[in-house]
């Protein structure tokens, strides 16, 4: 049984009465293998277009409505997501992946395209900035570099009456955004019961963001009934989470996992080492026991039955028919019987009284029957290959487990600092099971590629291709990693940059498409990637500016020094006046010292014997004469220099 069909069941039931209730809510629960529980919340409100245009809001949130009117948004899809859907063990995605987003925040919207490209960009900027304020998310960082215009990947979900102007689709992603409770609180504020009553009372930030996988979505679309009734604007809010049952049921006052005392353990006594002090815990058999109040920390408080004609059920549990499900409300304990048409499903409608709490309990039970696991249309994963911070490669693997071939649209929006080389793009397929057959090139039916512009626009790549039956398609291309200005790095620059997940749309097999859901096909997204970029030294700006400037100044200085001066022989250079004066003073001082010395020696000689007196006098004369000669020689030099300079002037 398809999960998506089950989810649309209450809506289908309600539409059978031909009156769409203005507000309805539903919680779908389904245990997953290995002790996980899927919980899908769905809140749908609608208003007539005329009421919307005259700003009469009842269940449709006014804050969001006014933003949509201001930004001329025809259709809005907003996603907050965290974690990874493990499709190998959990099977196909809920709601065919149509209410799922890539890690972080993803938004796409159809805007009125009247007024040209500039007007559309203005509206888009208005929309993301207002939503950023409304949801406390960094949506305002979705600028031109994070916006793409996909061609094939998305189609409007809403039906539109005649006379609607042309629309333009814009798509933005924020893979780095960490979704948390501050995004859930404004999400709950949009609901009529504000998370105080009805199934929305289970939504508590601690539990929702403790999940292994969670995605919140808001979808606004116009719906025109076939019967010629007035068109309505519908808002659908969903929260899909996969909880680890055991972790969620830990008591709130003691959340840290500790080893349980040995008395509480069930030991596997068949083990050889089993002893009173040794225990090998026995694997729990069968399905785990859980209850809403234990998992979500609180039972369902009251109900939120507001609109007339809302006769649908509030809670649906998809378990095997043999499983025992108890409902505990207002002191009474009832067993929930399987649905008449579908035995896997049990539906429950909350009582109208607002005060009573309702809890649903499922006991531990050993059931031989294995629940049917739905296989997803495709398995997809994407990795970055290569090493180093200079270049790398993208490698996406898409596996088709089904015996039919499938046409898919592969969408990638890459940041501008990842520079792909499209001539290296290779799409090859080989059969999944047999490795004997050679790989074949897959022919791309269509390719839309908008190359990136530095700091202005990211890359948009969209491929339409066919995945052959039971084969694996590998898509590879090379890319370069750009180095950024140091102000463009985030504070944790060495963590790397997030690259948005690739969106894969599996096109429906019959192109005619009878239903709305079928025409859309199903979606799946790969995980986001972490791209390490080369980083400069962030402490260096002054040093770098100084060092580089020094080298340039050195070059400039020495070249222009040579260019603007002329050569002269070293001997032609006149000594500077200062040097002359210093030499003169030194000479004078030397002469005085010498004469003093001479006098001293003269007196000594007068006192000593006459034999030595002659030699002493000679020495004195000699040294004195030497000093004088030196001085005159210096003067001669100077004069000679002057004349030679004069001569050289004459030469010229």
> CB of 4 within 8 A of CB of 96?
yes
Of 366, 370, 512, 563, the residue at the interface with another protein (CB under 8 A) is 563
Alpha-carbon distance 327 to 528, whole Å?
40
Say whether residue 485 binds another protein (CB under 8 A): yes
Which residue, 554 or 585, is less far from another protein as judged by CB? 554
- Asked whether position 544 contacts another protein by CB under 8 A, the answer is yes
Minimum CB distance to another protein smaller for 509 or for 643: 643
b or e along 166-198 (b: 16 or more beta carbons within 10 Å of the residue's beta carbon)? ebbbbbbbbbbbebeeebbebbbebbbbebebb
**In three state form, how does the secondary structure of 182-208 look?**
HHHHHHHHCCCCCCCCEHHHHCCHHHH
CA distance 224 to 232: 6
CB-facing half-sphere around the CA of 575: CA atoms within 13 A? 15
**Residue 453 tokens, joined:** 């512009």
The answer to the question of residue 486 lying near another protein (CB under 8 A) is yes
The span of 15-23, 169-177, 483-491, 615-623 binding another protein (CB under 8 A) equals 483-491
Size, binding site for another protein by CB under 8 A: 49
Return the residue matching tokens 């626009």.
457
C-beta of 444: minimal distance to another protein in Å?
A: 16
Q: Is 552 in the site for another protein (CB under 8 A)?
A: yes
Among 330, 555, 590, 618, binds another protein (CB under 8 A): 555
The H or E element spanning position 529 is: strand 529-531
- Residue 83, helix vs strand vs coil: strand
Q: Measured from the CB atom, is 435 or 566 closer to another protein?
A: 566
Comparison of 66 and 389: residue with beta carbon closer to another protein: 389
Q: Are 531 and 496 in contact (CB under 8 A)?
A: yes
Q: How far is the CB of 538 from another protein (least distance, A)?
A: 9
Nearer to another protein, 334 or 647 (CB): 647
Instruction: Map the footprint of another protein across residues 217-236, applying CB under 8 A.
Output: none
Rule CB under 8 A: is residue 556 a binding residue for another protein? Answer: yes
Q: How far is the CB of 484 from another protein (least distance, A)?
A: 7
| CB closer to another protein, 273 vs 542 | 542
CB 314 within 8 A of CB 348: yes
Per-residue DSSP letters for 64-79? Answer: HHHHHHHTTEEEEEEE
Q: Binding another protein by CB under 8 A: which of 554, 582, 589, 600?
A: 554
Query: Mask of contacts with another protein, 493-512, x by CB under 8 A?
Result: --------------------
Residues 410-439: x/- map of binding to another protein (CB under 8 A)? ---------xxxxx----------------
Q: Pick between residue 334 and residue 480 the one whose CB is nearest to another protein.
A: 480
The reply to whether 530 sits near another protein by the rule CB under 8 A is no
Cα 574 from Cα 477, distance rounded (Å): 72
Q: Of 340, 299, 346, nearest to 323 (Cα)?
A: 346
Q: What per-residue string of b and e applies to 368-377 under the rule 16 or more CB within 10 Å gives b?
A: eeebeeeebb
Name the residue nearer to another protein (CB basis): 165 or 555.
555
Q: In this chain, which stretch among 11-19, 95-103, 126-134, 551-559 interacts with another protein, using CB under 8 A?
A: 551-559
Asked if 570 is part of the footprint of another protein (rule: CB under 8 A), the reply reads yes
**Measuring CA to CA, which residue among 515, 533, 370, 443 is closest to residue 8?**
515
Shortest Cβ 467–another protein spacing (Å): 26
Residue with tokens 């809005």: 76
Calpha distance 430→399 (Å, rounded): 10
In this structure, the number of other CB atoms found within 10 A of the CB of residue 44 comes to: 23
Question: Cα–Cα distance between 459 and 418 in angstroms, integer?
Answer: 8
Which pair of structure tokens corresponds to residue 262? 């040995």
Q: Which residues within the stretch 362-401 sit at the binding site for another protein (CB under 8 A)?
A: 387-391
- Is residue 169 within 8 A of residue 147, CB to CB? The reply is no
Closer residue to another protein in complex, CB, 118/512:
118
Give me the least distance between CB of 581 and another protein, in Å please: 21
CA–CA separation, 46 vs 155, rounded Å? 21
Q: Least CB distance from residue 416 to another protein, whole Å?
A: 10
Asked if residue 535 binds another protein (CB under 8 A), the reply is yes
Nearer to another protein, 279 or 580 (CB): 580
Task: Among 569, 576, 603, 650, indicate the residue that binds another protein (CB under 8 A).
Answer: 569
Asked if 358 contacts 75 with a C-beta cutoff of 8 angstroms, the reply is: no
The verdict on 642 binding another protein (CB under 8 A) reads: no
Query: Which window, 38-46, 66-74, 265-273, 540-548, contacts another protein (CB under 8 A)?
Result: 540-548
Q: Which is nearer to another protein, 13 or 554 (CB)?
A: 554
User: Under DSSP, is residue 245 helix (H, G, I), strand (E, B) or coil?
Assistant: helix
Cβ atoms of 75 and 155 closer than 8 Å: no
Asked if 492 touches another protein (CB under 8 A), the answer is no
Cβ proximity to another protein, 1 vs 544, nearer residue: 544
CA 555 to mean position of chain CA atoms: 45
Q: Are 76 and 112 in contact (CB under 8 A)?
A: no
Cβ neighbours, 10 Å, residue 202? 23
- Does 534 participate in binding another protein (rule CB under 8 A)? yes
Q: Does 560 bind another protein (CB under 8 A)?
A: yes
Q: Which of 547, 588, 593, 614 binds another protein (CB under 8 A)?
A: 547
What's the per-residue H, E or C state across 432-478?
A: CCCCCCCCEECCCCEEEEECCECCCECEEEEEEEEECCCEEEEEEEE
Complex with another protein: residue 118 or 562, whichever CB lies closer: 562
What is the contact mask toward another protein in residues 442 to 481, using x (rule: CB under 8 A)?
---------x--xx------------------------x-
* Minimum CB distance to another protein smaller for 321 or for 641: 641
Query: Nearest distance from residue 560's CB to another protein, in Å?
Result: 7
Quick one: which of 253, 369, 537, 578 contacts another protein (CB under 8 A)?
A: 537
Nearest Cα neighbor of 412 from 526, 501, 475 is 501
C-beta closer to another protein: residue 512 or 570 = 570
Verify binding: residue 540, another protein, rule CB under 8 A.
yes
Ranges assigned E (strand) in 225-302? 232-244, 290-291, 300-301
8 Å CB contact between 64 and 220:
yes
Question: Applying CB under 8 A, does 541 fall inside the site for another protein?
Answer: yes
By the criterion CB under 8 A, which residues form the site for another protein? 387-391, 419-423, 451, 454-455, 480, 482-487, 534-537, 540-541, 544-545, 547-548, 551-552, 554-556, 558-563, 565-571, 573
């Amino acid at each position: 049984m398809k999960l998506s069909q089950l989810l649309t069941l209450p809506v289908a039931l309600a539409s059978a009465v031909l009156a769409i209730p203005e507000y309805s809510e539903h919680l779908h629960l389904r245990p997953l293998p290995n002790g996980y529980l899927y919980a899908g919340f769905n809140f749908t409100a609608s208003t007539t277009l005329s009421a919307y245009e005259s700003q009469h809001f009842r269940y449709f949130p006014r804050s969001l409505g006014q933003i949509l009117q201001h930004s001329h948004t025809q259709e809005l899809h907003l996603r907050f997501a965290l974690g990874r859907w493990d499709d190998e063990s959990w099977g196909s995605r809920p709601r065919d992946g149509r209410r799922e987003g890539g890690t972080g925040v993803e938004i796409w919207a159809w805007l009125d395209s009247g007024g040209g490209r500039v007007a559309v960009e203005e509206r888009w900027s208005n929309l993301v900035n207002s939503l950023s304020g409304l949801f406390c998310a960094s949506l305002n960082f979705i600028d031109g570099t994070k916006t793409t215009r996909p061609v094939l990947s998305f189609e409007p979900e809403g039906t539109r009456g005649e006379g609607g102007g042309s629309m333009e689709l814009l798509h933005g992603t924020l893979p780095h955004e960490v979704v948390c409770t501050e995004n859930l609180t404004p999400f709950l504020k949009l609901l009529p019961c504000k998370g105080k009553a009805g199934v929305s009372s289970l939504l508590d930030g601690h539990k929702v963001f403790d999940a292994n996988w969670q995605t919140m979505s808001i979808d606004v679309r116009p719906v025109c009934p076939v019967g010629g009734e007035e068109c309505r604007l519908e808002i659908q809010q969903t929260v899909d989470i996969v909880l680890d049952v055991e972790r969620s049921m830990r008591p709130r006052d003691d959340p840290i996992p500790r080893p349980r005392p040995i008395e509480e353990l069930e030991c596997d006594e068949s083990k050889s080492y089993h002893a009173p002090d040794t225990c090998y815990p026995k694997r729990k058999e069968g399905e785990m026991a859980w209850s809403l109040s234990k998992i979500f920390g609180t039972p369902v408080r009251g109900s939120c039955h507001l609109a007339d004609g809302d006769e649908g059920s509030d809670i649906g549990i998809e378990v095997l028919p043999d499983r025992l499900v108890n409902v505990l409300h207002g002191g009474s304990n009832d067993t929930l019987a399987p649905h008449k048409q579908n035995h896997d499903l049990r539906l429950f409608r909350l009582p109208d009284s607002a005060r009573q709490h309702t809890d649903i309990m499922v006991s531990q039970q050993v059931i031989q029957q294995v629940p049917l696991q739905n296989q997803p249309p495709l398995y997809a994963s994407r990795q970055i290959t290569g090493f180093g911070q200079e270049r790398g490669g993208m490698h996406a693997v898409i596996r088709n487990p089904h015996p039919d071939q499938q046409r898919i649209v592969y969408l990638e929006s890459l940041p501008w600092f990842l520079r792909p080389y499209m001539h290296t793009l290779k799409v090859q397929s080989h059969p999944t099971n047999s490795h004997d057959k050679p790989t074949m090139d897959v022919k791309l039916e269509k390719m839309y590629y908008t190359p990136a512009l530095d700091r202005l626009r990211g890359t948009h790549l969209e491929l339409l291709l066919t995945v052959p039956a039971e084969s694996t398609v590998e898509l590879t291309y090379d890319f370069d990693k750009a180095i950024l200005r140091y102000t463009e790095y985030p504070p944790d620059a060495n963590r790397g940059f997030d690259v948005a997940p690739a969106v894969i749309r599996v096109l429906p097999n019959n192109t005619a498409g009878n239903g709305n859901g079928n025409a859309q096909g199903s979606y799946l997204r790969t995980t986001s990637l972490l791209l390490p970029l080369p980083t400069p030294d962030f402490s260096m700006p002054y040093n770098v500016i100084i060092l580089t400037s020094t080298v340039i100044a050195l070059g400039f200085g020495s070249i222009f020094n040579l260019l603007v001066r002329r050569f002269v022989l070293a001997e032609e250079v006149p000594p500077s006046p200062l040097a002359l004066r210093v030499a003169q003073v030194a000479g004078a001082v030397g002469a005085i010292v010498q004469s003093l010395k001479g006098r001293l020696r003269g007196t000594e000689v007068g006192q000593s014997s006459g034999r030595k007196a002659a030699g002493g006098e000679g020495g004195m004369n000699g040294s004195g004469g030497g000093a004088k000669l030196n001085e005159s020689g210096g003067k001669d030099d100077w004069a000679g220099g002057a004349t030679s300079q004069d001569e050289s002037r004459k030469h010229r």
